[in-house]
């Protein structure tokens, strides 16, 4: 059976994207190890070394994913054991606050 590690980034405490991701991957036939929210990069790497997954899936929605996701992938690619592990990052990119529409003249 294929396995996937599902995780968030160190600062991201949102959990429901992780739950959805786990459900989708399980429906696709993966055995999933869900590391939960606010997961340190070192822990993700340790789990990947232990589980030897076919996929690492990262959910991040709190707005820091661009930085922390890059840090995670850089660490992953720098580890000889994990450098070739397929990894995906996703999550909402909704703006924190919509820009109010200008009223009146264009
Ligand atoms: C619930 C919620 C919370 C709860 C979380 C509780 C919990 N147990 O998860 C609480 C109150 C704790 C919280 C805290 C904060 N939140 Co909040 N939160 C939300 C909220 C309302 C819903 C998120 C949610 O659960 N959605 C349901 C899940 C199922 O959807 P999802 O996470 O978007 O995931 C979907 C997709 O993104 C995608 N997806 C997700 N992961 C992945 C991964 C892959 C690989 C793929 C392909 C797809 C994918 O698939 C999922 C299903 O469609 C959103 C606003 C919103 N309406 O989205 C804000 C939101 C995410 N939060 C936001 C913010 C700013 C915060 C705080 C910083 C607020 C604060 N000032 O304290 C903190 C951050 C805490 C932290 N350290 O991370 C912002 C993020 C802004 C940004 N991205 O720039 C949002 C967008 C609100 C906003 N518009 O300002 N939050």
Predicted pLDDT of residue 106: 43
**Ligand 1: distance of its center to the CA of 73 in Å?**
21
Residue ranges covered by each domain of the chain: 5-9+11-90
Architecture of domain 5-9+11-90: 3-Layer(aba) Sandwich (3.40)
Per-position DSSP letters for 70-93, written without gaps between them:
HHHHHHHHTSTTTTT--EEEE---
Long-range pairs for 88-91: beta carbons < 8 A, 24 or more residues apart: 88/55, 88/56, 88/57, 88/58, 89/57, 89/58, 89/59, 89/60, 89/65, 90/17, 90/21, 90/57, 90/58, 90/59, 90/60, 91/14, 91/17, 91/59, 91/60, 91/61, 91/65
pLDDT at site 92: 77
Tell me, using a 6 A CB cutoff, whether residue 96 lines ligand 1: yes
Per-residue pLDDT at 4: 98
Kindly state if the Cβ of 94 falls inside 6 Å of ligand 1.
yes
Q: Per residue in 20-39, pLDDT tens?
A: 999 999 999 999 999 999 99
pTM: 0.92
Beta strands in the chain (DSSP E): 3-7, 31-34, 55-59, 87-90
pLDDT in tens, 37-92: 999 999 999 999 999 999 999 999 999 999 999 999 999 999 999 999 999 999 97
Nearest atom in ligand 1 to 94's CA: 86
101 has a pLDDT exceeding 70: no
Whether 20 lines ligand 1, by a CB cut-off of 6 Å, is yes
Distance 89 CA to ligand 1 centre (A): 14
């Amino acid at each position: 059976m294929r396995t996937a590690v599902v995780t968030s980034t160190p600062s991201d405490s949102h959990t429901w994207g992780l739950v959805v991701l786990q459900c989708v991957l399980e429906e696709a036939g993966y055995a999933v190890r869900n590391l939960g929210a606010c997961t340190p990069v070192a822990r993700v790497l340790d789990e990947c070394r232990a589980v030897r997954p076919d996929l690492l899936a990262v959910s991040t929605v709190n707005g820091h994913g661009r930085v922390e996701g890059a840090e995670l992938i850089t660490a992953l690619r720098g580890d000889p054991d994990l450098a070739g592990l397929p990894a995906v990052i996703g999550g909402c990119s909704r703006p924190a606050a919509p820009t109010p529409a200008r009223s009146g003249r264009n």
